[in-house]
A = this chain, B = another copy of it.
Amino acid sequence: MLSNFYNKFSELGLIDYFGKTLNIKKPEILKGIGDDAAVVKISKNKYLLNTCDMLIEGKHFRKTDDLCRVGYKAIACSLSDIAAMGGKPRFSLISLGIPESFGFTDIKSLSRGIKKACDKFSVSVIGGDTNSSHKLIIDVSIIGFVHPRNLVLRNNAKPGDYIFVTGSLGGSIYRRHLEFLPRVKESQFLTNKFKLHSMIDISDGLVIDLWRILKASGVGAVIFENLIPIHKDAKGLKQALYMGEDFELLFTVSEKEGRRLLDIIRQGKIKFPLSFIGKVIHKKSQIQLIDKNRKPKMLKPKGFLHF
C-alpha cells in the first residue's frame, strides 16, 4: 500500500499542511485537525465530536468483497474514531460514489451492512449524497457526543504512564477488517471507570499509531515483545506491530490508574481482552521494543498508510 504518493508527501505531512492552512481558530473548537475526531464545545457538559472516513474500492476493500461487509466497515471505521475520543456516536452522513454497473441488489447489500453497524450502536443516518462513479466510494461522517470528563485526546500521554491495548493485533486484513466490532462500549467502560491520559484507535498499525500519541504528547515509549497480544490470524510479531486495520484502542493511564486497571484485569472483572504492553518514557517520539532476549531495539514509525 506504500506508493510513490506516500513517498512524495505522506498522509501525515498532508494532514499537518491542511491543519496549518485551513484551521481557522474559534473559541468553541477544543480540537481541530490532528486527532481521531474534532471536538467542539456545545455546552458546559457536552462536547460534540465529528469525524469522517473515506473508503475507496481497490484501496480499502476489493471489488469482489461482500458489499454488506463493506458497508458495515465504512460505518465501523468512523465509530472507532468516536470511541477513541471516549465518545458515543449518534448521527451519520454518508456520501456514496456508486459504480454504474451496480444493480439494486448491490445497493441493498451495501445498505444492509450500513444498517447493521448503525443499529448495533444506535446511530441514525440523517443525510448523505449519491453520485455515480467509476469505483465504489463510501465516505462516512459521524457526529458523536462526549461528556468533558470522558474526553480523551492524543496529546496528554505522560512519562511513567502505562500503555494498554484492547484485543489482539495483526492479520486483520486477511479477514476481520470487514467485520470488526468498534470498541465503543469498551471505551465507555474505560472512560467511565478510569482517568485515561491519551487514546487512539489502531487503524494504521500499533507502532505508527503509538508514535502519533508520542509525537502529539512530546514523549517516548518502551514496549515489550512478550506482552504484545498477537492475533491468531497474524503471521508473527511484525504484522502485529505494523499491519494496521486492527481498530483496537491504544491508550495510556497514570501508573496509579494502570496498577488499578491491572488488578481489575487479574480479578477477571473486565469482559473484553485488554493487555498492558509498555510504558511512556521521556524520550521524545522514540519507540523502544524490548525483545524476548531483553534486548532493546528502536522501532521506526511506519505502518499501513492509505497511500
Check if A24 sits within 8 Å of B135, measured CB to CB.
Answer: no
Q: A134-B134, A139-B54 are in contact. Are A124 and B23 (CB under 8 A)?
A: yes
Task: Determine the distance from Cα of A281 to Cα of B298 in the docked complex, in whole angstroms.
Answer: 74
The verdict on A296 contacting chain B, using a C-beta distance below 8 Å, is no
A271–B212 Cα distance when bound, in Å, is 50
Residue A272 at the chain B interface, CB threshold 8 Å: no
Please tell me which one of the listed residues B33, B126, B141 contacts residue A125 in the complex, with CB atoms under 8 A apart.
B33
Q: Are A132 and B24 in contact (CB under 8 A)?
A: no
| Interface membership of A21, Cβ < 8 A | yes
B interface footprint on A120-138 (CB within 8 Å = 1, 0 otherwise): 0011111111111111010
B91 engages A21 (CB within 8 Å): no
Q: Please tell me which one of the listed residues B9, B95, B126, B307 contacts residue A131 in the complex, with CB atoms under 8 A apart.
A: B307
CB proximity to B under 8 Å, residues A3-53: 3-6, 8-9, 11, 14-15, 17-18, 21-26, 29, 31-33, 37-38, 40, 42-43, 48, 50-53
Q: How far is the CA of A17 from the CA of B108 in the complex (A)?
A: 9
Could you tell me the distance between the alpha carbons of A126 and B141 in the complex, rounded to whole angstroms? 12
B22 touches A143 (CB 8 A): no
Find out whether the CB atom of B122 lies under 8 angstroms from the CB atom of A52.
no
Please state if B95 and A126 are interface contacts (CB–CB under 8 Å). no
Q: What residues of chain A have their CB less than 8 Å away from a CB belonging to chain B?
A: 3-6, 8-9, 11, 14-15, 17-18, 21-26, 29, 31-33, 37-38, 40, 42-43, 48, 50-54, 56, 58-60, 90-91, 93-98, 100, 102-104, 107, 111, 114-115, 118-119, 122-135, 137, 139, 141, 143, 306-307
- 27 A-B contact pairs sorted by A residue (CB < 8 Å): A5-B102, A15-B130, A18-B111, A18-B130, A22-B94, A23-B126, A24-B119, A24-B125, A25-B124, A26-B90, A31-B126, A32-B125, A37-B127, A42-B42, A48-B143, A52-B127, A54-B96, A54-B97, A54-B137, A59-B131, A59-B133, A95-B95, A95-B141, A97-B137, A131-B306, A134-B134, A137-B137
